[in-house]
Amino acid sequence: MKCIDHHKVIVVAQSFGGLSISLAMEKFPKKVFVAVFVTALMPDTAHKLSYVVREFMKVPKVWKDNCSITRGNNSWISFSDKFLKSSFYQLCSLEDFALISALKRPGSLFPNDLDKIQLSEEKYGSVDRVYIVAKVDLGVIEDFQPEMIGNYSGKEVKVIHHSGHLPQLSRPLELSVHLLEIARNYSSSS
């Protein structure tokens, strides 16, 4: 984002990537046309950035097949194949899931770092947001998505029916149509 001089961009995130684009929006609000949250965590300005993560972790799920590791101040989680197949990738092809399974790594949500970050209305809040709901999302479940949207509504909400947590794998054409429509609407309106 620092390298972008006189251009504006559209930032798109999926799942926990919503935290990353939120930070980009906070640091570079004048460089972003619109932020697109595709079944992603979408924070608000009333709470620390960690709030949306903690609320997400409260959603009832079957976490028992996953491994959690704590080192120092950070916790890491490794999702089991069983959990990934039943909750995140249930509508993906067998080939996509085999690749995902081979490439998966433990990850951290860095809750202690996120506890220190407060997004502002003046920066993060000044960027238009579009949320794309996947109707069969078992990762960021459909009940939690409206809660985030209600906490900090965006400019619009789009829906992809018959899509799991990763519409880019389960419904790529529908996701592409939405993203192209968003690009046309927001880049031409400036």
Enumerate the active-site residues: 15, 137, 165
* Inter-CA distances, 156 with 7, 17, 70, 108, 159, Å: 23, 19, 38, 30, 10
Q: What is the CA radius of gyration of the chain?
A: 17
- Tokens (6 digits) for 182: 């968003």
Residue pair 158/132 in contact by the 8 Å Cβ criterion: yes
Gap between the Cα atoms of 145 and 32, Å rounded:
23
Buried b (16+ CB within 10 A) or exposed e, 101-130: eeeeeeeebbbeebeeeebeeeebeebbbb
